[in-house]
Structure 1
Amino acid sequence: MVGIVICLASVVCAIQGTATYYNPPYYPLACIPNQRNGDFKVARASDGLWNNRTACGRRNRVRCTAANNLFPRPYIGATVDVTIVDYCSKCNGTINLSRDAFSIIANLEAGNIWIEYNQ
């Protein structure tokens, strides 16, 4: 109960999920069609996050918590702020980070990681 009160008192609460990454090019984009995004800290949202395009433009702070496979110690210990710019119809995770964003929080060789993210 105390955790719920603390969570409600704060602006955001961490949500758990998984993340993978995708390679450039990071366009075309469902949220900003016909425009290339110069910021490479972007992500594609899975069905659960996409919510009929309401995720477009939403910023998320993402942190790796563990590997989702046998890769030892995948995380770097950093967080990354990403903007949802696209939909991922065949995501292998909750969120599909750009390669640039994924490499800030985890070793690329891990491929699939457990994360916490705040919206």
Structure 2
Amino acid sequence: MSKAQTQILFYLFITLFIDLPFPSFADVGVAAQYSPPYLPTGCYGGEALQFPSSNLFAAAGDGIWDNGAACGRQYLVRCISAEKPRTCIPQQSIQVKIVDYAFSTVSTPSATGTTMVLSQKAFQTIANSSAALINIEFQQV
């Protein structure tokens, strides 16, 4: 094999290696939204200090609730698709704190049976607020 052929193979290998997608350790699910009142919650009762100052929080659905062990967990969340095109805000991710159980929230979620029910502020940060449901990618941090 000539030096030129070796260099071509080397550059081809490097190009293929660099272009390979990195493995994702995130899960996918569905999110709804809910609005105030948020208290009391299934995690912390009536304690107002439970909410992050950013108002980026969520209620956990059955899939992640884990008999209450989800309370306080933090998740990176991003909208990946929705029924209506251009619902998701591109390249926007948020970090939410689980403060409640989706099936016991004080206010009614926009949809039931979801992975997460995002606070109004959290939902509006990653998607158009007129949507009832969005498909999300989420990862515990």
Q: Aligning the two structures, in what range does the TM-score lie when normalised by the shorter sequence? A: 0.7 to 0.9
Of 14, 35, 40, the residue aligned with 2:26 is 14
**Residues 1-119 of structure 1: pairs in structure 2 closer than 5 A:** 6=23, 13-36=25-48, 37-39=50-52, 40-67=55-82, 69=83, 71-77=84-90, 78-89=92-103, 91-119=112-140
Q: Which runs of 5+ in 2 are unaligned?
A: 1-22, 105-111
The answer on whether the counterparts of 2:42 and 2:99 sit within 8 Å (CA) in structure 1 is yes
Larger helix percent: 2
Count of paired positions: 109
Residue type at the aligned position of 1:85:
V
Q: Which runs of 5+ in 1 are unaligned?
A: 1-5, 8-12
Residue type at the aligned position of 2:74:
R
Higher-Rg member (1/2):
2
Deviation (angstroms), 1:87: 0.3
Percent identity over the alignment?
41
Give the TM-score normalised by the residue count of structure 2: 0.71
Residue type at the aligned position of 2:65:
W
RMSD between aligned residues: 1.9
The residue matched to 1:62 in structure 2 has which SS? strand
Distance in 2 (CA, whole Å) between partners of 1:30 and 1:100 is 19
Residue type at the aligned position of 2:130:
E
Residue type at the aligned position of 1:88:
A
The answer on whether the counterparts of 1:20 and 1:92 sit within 8 Å (CA) in structure 2 is no
Q: Post-superposition, which runs of at least 4 consecutive aligned residues in structure 1 deviate over 2 A?
A: none
The answer on whether the counterparts of 2:51 and 2:99 sit within 8 Å (CA) in structure 1 is no
- Distance change >3 Å, CA 38–CA 85, structure 1 → 2: closer
Deviation (angstroms), 1:38: 4.3
